[in-house]
Amino acid sequence: METNIYDVLIVGGGINGASAARDAAGRGLSVALCEAEDIGWATSSASSKLIHGGLRYLEHYEFRLVREALAEREVILANAPHISWPMRIVLPHAPWLRPAWLIRAGLFLYDHLSPLRQIAGSEKVNLKKHLAGRPLSDKFKTGFEYSDLGVLDTRFCLYNALDAALRGAAVHTRTRVEKAVRENGLWVARIRNTRTGEESEIRARSMVNTTGPWSNEFLTSRAESSDSGRIRMVLGSHIIVPRLYDHPYSYILQNDDNRIVFAIPYEYDYTMIGTTDVDYQGDPANAACSQAEREYLCKITNSYFRTQITPEDIVWDFAGIRPLYSDGKDATSATRDYVFKVEKDAAGNAPLLNVFGGKITAGREIGEKIVNQLLPLLGRSEAPETSQWTATAPLPGGDMPEGFDAYLYAFHRRYPWLPERMAHRLCRHYGTLAHDVLAGATSLDDLGEHFGGGLYEAEVRYQQKNEWADDAESVIWRRTRLGLHMTEEEQDRLRRWFDA
């Protein structure tokens, strides 16, 4: 049993919980973060891998949400240049769906709702001459090009959690909060290690619920709360197919059901297509891409691209639950905004801050606002300037004052024996921490066993020691996506290595 009394217990290690833990620890609060499985393992690792303003949210008049998200792109690119990068996205104009003037107006707002410093604005393009027009059907003659960011979503969560731990937070993975009750003005949480079954207690002056899709179940079954939960679960699925084209542009594809689908270059050799919006009932842990969703995504893709695909072409798929704040709208138009709700005990102590909704783009900002709201509940005050420290502090590995490309060039010079793709992946995944992954190595032979796909024992051991990796899946399907480049036999060899 822990004897410490923490200032805050955060339940849920997705992007909201990890960001809140980082922000709180950086402002001097004592923090415990409990995640029942792995950091970022559910919704936060099943995103479209985009830091984006939400172009289509403009149609629902969510201007504040879009403005904040657009500003956040600049913050994340500056502080996490290793795991985020500018991406040019092409919208082929389908005049039978939306008139050109409406798209131009939307993109004008998209460019001007927040100042553009590092990210290029939009422009109209001739698809008969533009590189991005070559893979498209002949029926698309005009398009619109704009910018958002690509992101390694799971690593975004990991680096927030890692920075929290480096600043003193106690980060517990594979740790489920089974029951949390108020006693003498404190939260007393009974926690269980989901691997060993060992139980213990954590005591805290406040608690933050960032359980995402599990919020309703957590509040009604595990936490002392008068709130029944306000989360609406929407399933979003993606498919991965062999790459449909050989250039760096992404696409945003309109559809006659008012949904949009992205087609994005993925993991060097593939194209990622998604996402869907389907209301979901049941255990979020069982979220999976259905055959109907596979067929739906193939159908939309085939209506745009020359290369035709079928569900048999899919090499991998993944699905996650978006925990949308319930506002009575359908799955496609339900708000992507976030909402906070606070409960206290009769004496005004042991506050519970529930976080409903949100998305990975807003993760850092949500973490900041959680702590801003929490401090007065704990009787704390601070100088206003310290409330925004994460807006200018690089994430671990992100201290690249000359930018990613310059760092990658220097990395190639320092480790000329690394295969080019492997060097790029290590810089993209670890940033300046890639030197620690390679610690002391002067050749590939120094990195230990090669499991396949460019994954060596040294990298696995680094993830074990520094990133809470504790099984093969956590390495090859979350911290990396190297499972796409490994045979089943190679994956099994890694599983046996962990078992040993």
Residue 423 lies inside a defined structural domain of this protein: yes
Which residue in this structure is represented by tokens 């399907």? 477
Contact predicate 352/206, CB 8 Å: yes
Domain that holds residue 304: 80-150+232-325
Is the domain of 484 the same as that of 364? no
342 pLDDT exceeds 70?
yes
Is the domain of 131 the same as that of 253? yes
Residue 192 lies inside a defined structural domain of this protein: yes
Is the domain of 415 the same as that of 492? yes
Give pLDDT, residue 48. Answer: 96
Give pLDDT, residue 285. Answer: 95
Model confidence over 130-149: pLDDT tens digits?
Answer: 999 999 999 999 999 999 99
Is the domain of 219 the same as that of 241? no
Is the domain of 237 the same as that of 131? yes
Number of domains, the chain:
3
Is the domain of 182 the same as that of 248? no
Residue range 68-77: mean pLDDT, rounded:
94
Q: ∠ CA 75-79-84 to the nearest 5 degrees?
A: 85
Model confidence over 290-331: pLDDT tens digits?
Answer: 999 999 999 999 999 999 999 999 999 999 999 998 865 555
Confidence of residue 55 (pLDDT cuts 50, 70, 90): confident
Separation CA 318–CA 46 (nearest Å): 6
HSE-up of residue 94 (Cα within 13 Å, Cβ side): 16
Query: Which tokens in the block code for residue 439?
Result: 């610690």
Rounded to two decimals, the pTM is 0.96
Residue range 176-202: mean pLDDT, rounded:
97
Model confidence over 466-489: pLDDT tens digits?
Answer: 999 999 999 999 999 999 999 999
Is the domain of 130 the same as that of 86? yes
332 pLDDT exceeds 80?
no
Query: Which CATH number do you get for residue 432?
Result: 1.10.8.870
162 pLDDT exceeds 80?
yes
Is the domain of 134 the same as that of 165? no
| 264 φ, ψ (degrees, to nearest 5) | -135, 130
Alpha carbon 301 to its chain centroid, in Å, reads 24
Give the domain-ending residue among 295, 325, 355: 325
229 pLDDT exceeds 90?
no
HSE-up of residue 45 (Cα within 13 Å, Cβ side): 24
Is the domain of 238 the same as that of 319? yes
Residue range 352-380: mean pLDDT, rounded:
95
Give pLDDT, residue 386. Answer: 79
Is the domain of 161 the same as that of 138? no
Residue range 192-206: mean pLDDT, rounded:
97
Residue 61 lies inside a defined structural domain of this protein: no
Is the domain of 412 the same as that of 481? yes
Residue 73 lies inside a defined structural domain of this protein: no
Query: Which CATH number do you get for residue 381?
Result: 3.50.50.60
Residue 409 lies inside a defined structural domain of this protein: yes
Is the domain of 111 the same as that of 180? no
Residue range 252-273: mean pLDDT, rounded:
96
